[in-house]
Structure 1
Amino acid sequence: MGTWIVNGQILDGENNRVAKSVFIENGRIAKIVDGEVAVKDTEGHELIDAAGQLIAPGLIDMHVHLREPGFEHKETIATGTRSAARGGFTTIACMPNTRPVIDTPETVKYVLDKAESEGIVRVLPYGCITDNQLGRELTDFAALKEAGVFAFTDDGVGVQSAQMMKDAMTKAAALGMPVVAHCEDNTLVVGAAVTEGAFARKHGLKGIPNESEAIHVGRDILLAEATGVHYHVCHVSTEQSVRLIRQAKQLGIKVTAEVCPHHLLLSDEDIPGMDANWKMNPPLRTPKDVKACIEGLEDGTIDIVVTDHAPHSEEEKAKGMEAAPFGIVGFETAFPLLYTKFVLTGQWTLQFLLDRMTVKPAEVFELDWGTLKVGAAADIVLIDLEAEKEVDPSEFLSKGRNTPFTGWKLKGWPTQTMVAGRVVWSEA
């Protein structure tokens, strides 16, 4: 028995929505049919009526924090993958700053086994660049690759030693693996919680300067050029970083980059007060930086959109702007936010947005998912582009409620998510 998704709409590549039906068999897309399907063809198969819905590839998020092992009070693989599915994501890549960190084959196996037994979407684990993310000794890259990691990062902290990063890139390049960098010079950020800008000045806070990110971006681009590694920049937030990545691409250096919805939608001037739900790392930057990030995504300097989903408990975030941990949740609001603020306003096409959350991440990291084609894995999300809802953190499936978008009225909400032909989440 297969599954028919009928009466839906699929983009035709020109941003036009065309009536289509999709037949799924053995976890893969077997047919894509124009228009309606005859009743006799659906007999004996499961039927999903997607009337009024967009049929899209499952979204891919290459930067998430599932917190397990070690921080299960913030999130678990079970709760995180359910939150991801509700947001329309079918493939997610989890960062290694857990406890223990993902720096041994045993921890990789733990995460993969948990994802298999308790997760509901596809989980790809990153492996650490350095032991315990301390920046002192490189991990065993070959063993981690064999165990199942697809790339290396110390996300959560920057690799402070240029020699350590160059050695890491050399090893990763030999294995054909990407190095993914959280770019932050620690000497410039100690004791700071927000960016250097209007909010910091108003509240007498030490600011995180743009250079703290851009210095590492520039350094690592030069090291990537020297080693030939695929170098990917995490959560770009500054005008200087965008400029450096643009120049690197023009020179033919193998660099790719990502940006988060919050760095495209909010600046430090939007922060309403000392509410730690507005505290993330990188911090919300200036309007000039927001403009640069948007332009960077639009011109291809920045390749993909990620959420940097970073749940924390309400007790932790209640400690205030200076003492609370960095991070906000992102799975369940990412697509509606960007669809409402960029597609409905006419700045982007729907195809542009979908590509940067599906096709492009798959291309950047050479993944097998992210498309609606016959023979492809049936990773599919149905999206209601018309229904409007308010962001209500109390309804999140994530354990985290830490978002600055509470009360925003948005359109473009996923209604059903399917991984390899199996419905893993449904609004109904």
Structure 2
Amino acid sequence: MATLFRDARLIDPEAGEERRGDLLVQDGRIADGPVPEDAEVIDCGGLCLAPGIVDLGVKVGEPGARHKESFRSAGRAAAAGGVTTIVTRADTDPPIDTPETLEFVARRAASESPVRVLPMAALTKRLAGREMTEIGFLSDAGAVAFGDGLRVVEDTRVLSRALTYARSCGALVVSHVQDPGLSRGAVATSGKFASLRGLPAASPMAERMALDRDIALLEMTGARLHVDQITTARSLPALERAKRGGLDITAGVSVHHLTLNEFDVGDYRTFFKLTPPLRAEDDRMAAVEALASGLIDVLCSMHEPQDEESKRLPFEAAASGAVGLQTLLPAALRLVHAGHLDLPALFRALSTNPARRLGLECGRLTTGAPADLVLFDPDRPFVLDRFTLKSKSLNTPFDGARMEGVVTGTWVAGDRVHHA
């Protein structure tokens, strides 16, 4: 069971370099040494070979909304997009707040998805923010992190207790930073554009205020915290101070907030309605620079499937969110083509950093690492037709957009799960 990838542009995010060469896979892991005579040879023809993407914060409809996305459809979309590990959110219906629900999700994912699925569990029971879940039991059942999805735990005492207990279990807490008092009911970022469109808006300070609170609680409890989305320039100095102060904090950002801005909403296009809302161009560029410098650690899709009925509504009434598993890589490559990042830095944010934060072996091209790989042509152009996506829901803001970057193959533990 050996495969030799010949003549590839090897994207090594750990070493921070790309090089032309071969890669040997044996028994599902990256190997070094003589090539077996019976090895399968894949001629990469100079295409890029990189660690498979680890997408942190994916919403799947099971349980409760299988018509929007199932583990099978999400897994197929992930494989087609070069995503080899999806880390699912807990804000389902019912939420993943008991070991029984977690075990159901794990069984469904293992039987249906062609890629790895690692579930998060809820931080509070029923996502209500009033009582923390059994973090220890859920960790034993396989939860890789804890968070209430896009819901904010408003009660500071409850969040403090949850962080303290999570620290005792060595668990990672994932936080969504939006001040509820300011952001409740808002569908846009406050400013001239939102005023001209007559849209309910919230100040970017809603993110900064919530981040300041969570950082203070982190300093008090000594827990491990990952902030799922940092999207405004005003949040970055607080994040930098927390890291410089030695707090165990990392941050992520969605590809939509790095490649789109508030003007893309245009004529009330609901496929561009996201949580948090799209930001000003200055905020977008500040987030891009923070990702390039390493201040923001993780780039993710924040995959949020919504059916047609929930999107074909007036902008204020429409559901928020966009699918992103299959478009994550080509959208992220816009940052490379624009000169903001090189490929090793991009895959450090897409693969290595999220894997490292979750304590996973993948996300590397090191000998002995799992052979979770993506082969892609970074320069091949195409026009996205949303009806070609493999997700059940097709709510992508990139419909009709010209993009570059085509995945030609995806491997999980050395087994090919996608062939373009």
TM tier, shorter chain?
over 0.9
Q: TM-score, normalised by structure 1?
A: 0.94
For residue 391 of structure 1, what is the aligned residue in structure 2? 384
Q: Matched residue of 1:358: which SS?
A: helix
- 2:248 equivalent to 1:250: no
Alignment partners' CA distance in 1, 2:116 and 2:192: 41
Deviation at 1:53, TM superposition (A): 1.4
How far apart are the structure 2 equivalents of 1:190 and 1:257? Answer: 23
RMSD between aligned alpha carbons?
Answer: 1.7
Deviations 1:52-75 (A, max 9, x none): 311111111111111211011110
After TM superposition, give the deviation of residue 347 of structure 1 in Å: 2.3
Q: Secondary structure of the equivalent of 2:87?
A: strand
The alignment status of 1:71 with 2:69, answered yes or no, reads: no
Instruction: Quote how far apart the aligned CAs of 1:45 are.
Output: 3.0
**Are residue 402 (structure 1) and residue 395 (structure 2) matched?**
yes
Structure 1: state its 5+ residue gaps: 34-40
C-alpha deviation, 1:12, in angstroms: 6.1
| Other-structure match for 2:23 | 22
Q: Which amino acid letter does the alignment assign opposite residue 175 of structure 2?
A: A
Q: 1:104 & 1:260 partners in 2: Cα distance?
A: 28
Give CA-to-partner distance per residue, 1:328-364, whole Å, 9 cap, x none: 111111111221x221232211111111111111222
Q: Which amino acid aligns with 1:8?
A: A
1:421 aligns with 2:394: no
Q: Is residue 271 from structure 1 mapped to residue 265 from structure 2 by the alignment?
A: yes
The answer to whether the Cα contact below 8 Å between 1:21 and 1:32 also exists between their aligned partners in 2 is no
Q: Deviations over 1:353-399 (max 9, x none)?
A: 11111111122222111011221111011011231111211100111
- 1:180 matches 2:174: yes
- For the residue of structure 2 that corresponds to 1:152, the secondary structure is coil
Aligned partners of 1:79 and 1:397 also within 8 Å: yes
Deviations 1:110-140, CA, capped at 9 Å, x for gaps: 1110111001111111111110100111111
Residue in structure 1 matching 2:211, options 210, 217, 223: 217
Cα deviation, residue 15, structure 1: 6.9
Using the TM superposition, name which of 47-56 and 222-231 deviates more.
47-56
Deviation string 1:52-106 (CA, Å, 9 cap, x unpaired) is 3111111111111112110111101110111111110111100001111000001
Q: How does 1:80-229 map to 2 (within 5 A)?
A: 80-229=74-223
Per-residue displacement from partner, 1:257-283 (whole Å, max 9, x unpaired)? 001111112111232211110100011
Q: Which residue of 2 aligns with 1:45?
A: 39
Q: Residues 284 and 16 of structure 1: is their aligned pair in 2 closer, same or farther, counting only changes over 3 Å? A: same
Aligned to 2:371: 378
Contact 1:4–1:42 (Cα < 8 Å) also in 2: no
Change (3 A) 1:286 1:119: same
The 1:188/1:16 distance shift into structure 2, 3 A limit, reads closer
Looking at structure 2, the residues matched to 60 and 12 of structure 1 have their Cα atoms a distance apart, in angstroms, of 15
The DSSP-based 3-state class of the residue aligned with 1:220 is helix
Residues 381/287 of structure 1: CA separation in 2 closer, same or farther (3 Å cut):
same
1:16 shift after superposition: 6.2
Tell me the equivalent position of 1:354. 347
1:392 and 1:407 in contact (8 A); partners too: yes
Q: Mark the runs of 5 or more structure 2 residues left unpaired by the alignment.
A: none
Q: 1:32, 1:374 within 8 Å by CA — same for their partners in 2?
A: no
Deviations 1:259-318 (A, max 9, x none): 111111211123221111010001101122112211221222211101101111112110
Q: Which amino acid is 1:19 matched to?
A: R
Deviation, 1:234, is 1.0
Identity %: 37
Describe the SS at the equivalent of 2:91: coil
The CA deviation at 1:235 is 1.4
Secondary structure of the equivalent of 1:153?
Answer: coil
Q: Distance in 1 between matches of 2:43 and 2:22?
A: 9
| Contact 1:66–1:94 (8 Å) recurs in 2 | yes
What one-letter code is carried by the residue in structure 2 that aligns with 1:372? Answer: L
The answer for the alignment partner of 1:36 in structure 2 is: none
SS at match of 1:305: strand
- Distance in 2 of aligned mates of 1:198 and 1:273: 15
Instruction: Check whether the contact 1:198–1:269 (CA below 8 A) recurs between aligned residues.
Output: no
SS at match of 2:32: strand
- Residues 199, 271 of structure 1: 8 Å contact kept: no
- Shift of the alpha carbon at 1:215? 1.5
User: Hey, what's the Cα distance between the residues in 2 that align with 1:373 and 1:363?
Assistant: 13
Asked whether the 8 Å contact 2:372–2:414 carries over to 1, the reply is: yes
> How far, CA to CA, are the matches of 1:156 and 1:345 in structure 2?
30
CA, structure 1 residues 296+247, in 2 after alignment: closer, same or farther (shift >3 Å)? same
The one-letter code matched in structure 1 to 2:403 is L
Counterpart CA distance in 1 for 2:33 and 2:300 is 28
